Amino acid sequence: MKKNVLMKLDRITRTYQMGEVAVHALKETSLDILEGELLVVLGPSGSGKSTLLNIIGGMDSPSSGEIFFGKENLSNAGEQRLTRYRRQEVGFVFQFYNLIPDLTAKENVELAARLVENPLSVAQVLKEVGLEDRMDHFPSQLSGGEQQRVAIARAAVKRPRLLLCDEPTGALDQKIGQVVLGLLERINREQGSTVVIVTHNTPISSMAHRVIRMSSGTIAEIIENKNPLPAERIEW
């Protein structure tokens, strides 16, 4: 069954001025992101993949081109509208967790839940990521894998239509990384969230519905994966 387009990027560019030097991080990039897909963006450092993720997430704006979320054009949206977009539509998972150290696991997730009108149950989400017995612990009392699961719970509790993950297994070993990828897989399958994973770790692409390969600020290749692997079978 053909999936609807959730987000459309039309010939977007992003140029940064570094003194007298113009750095072209993205060059004439077009991409349709589909509802309910799991998309992996691959590329080495400097390929433009993190810039692409930041623009998709409303944390950065393109220098030129247009971005549509549904039928809404976000290309020239002001900061107030982009803040509302990030709060209501997008969940973020980062490599180094970005948890608030003075809040417990439960309080970190509760903070995100307050941003939206119809969040999931905080206790239930923490239970689903296997942290029902650790929810009153502070980040410093949790392992790296546990902190990343809190970060996923914090993103998932908002019921985001778009879940963006920047190197979500980069600070984890393979065994814990497989657990984290499995959670992202479940959110995609059970909540219907579109999941975008940016990584340089090529084996992770085998779990994707589609793979985007980036090189020198452009999309070099788009690969459709007809038989995605379950997360627990991915090895690196």
Q: Which residues pair with residue 10 across a beta bridge?
A: 66
- Read off the pLDDT band of 111 (50, 70, 90): very high
Domain 35-64+84-233, CATH number (from 1.10.287.3510, 3.40.50.300, 3.10.20.340, 2.40.30.10): 3.40.50.300
Share of the chain above pLDDT 90, in %: 88
Q: How far, in Å, CA of 139 to CA of 100, rounded?
A: 8
Computed over every residue of the chain, the mean pLDDT equals: 94
* pLDDT at 76 (0 to 100): 82
For 128-142, the pLDDT digits (tens) are 999 999 999 999 999
For 54-64, the pLDDT digits (tens) are 999 999 999 99
* pLDDT at 3 (0 to 100): 85
Evaluate if residue 29 carries a pLDDT over 70. Answer: yes
Q: Which residues contact 121 (CB under 8 A, 6 or more apart)?
A: none
For 160-179, the pLDDT digits (tens) are 999 999 999 988 889 999 99
126: left (phi over 0), alpha (psi -120 to 50) or beta: alpha
* pLDDT at 236 (0 to 100): 86
As a whole number, mean pLDDT of residues 29-46 equals 95
Q: What angle do CA 23, 25, 31 make, to 5 degrees?
A: 155
Evaluate if residue 95 carries a pLDDT over 90. Answer: no
Nearest to 29 by CA among 227, 228, 156, 218: 218
As a whole number, mean pLDDT of residues 208-220 equals 96
- 3 state SS for the chain: CCCCEEEEEEEEEEEEEECCEEEEEEEEEEEEEECCCEEEEECCCCCCHHHHHHHHCCCCCCCEEEEEECCEECCCCCHHHHHHHHHHHEEEECCCCCCCCCCCHHHHHHHHHCCCCCCCCHHHHHHHCCCCCCCCCCHHHCCHHHHHHHHHHHHHCCCCCEEEEECCCCCCCHHHHHHHHHHHHHHHHHHCCEEEEEECCHHHHHHCCEEEEEECCEEEEEEECCCCCCHHHCCC
Q: Which residue ranges make up each domain of the chain?
A: 35-64+84-233
- Read off the pLDDT band of 1 (50, 70, 90): low
Q: How far, in Å, CA of 32 to CA of 234, rounded?
A: 26
* pLDDT at 123 (0 to 100): 95
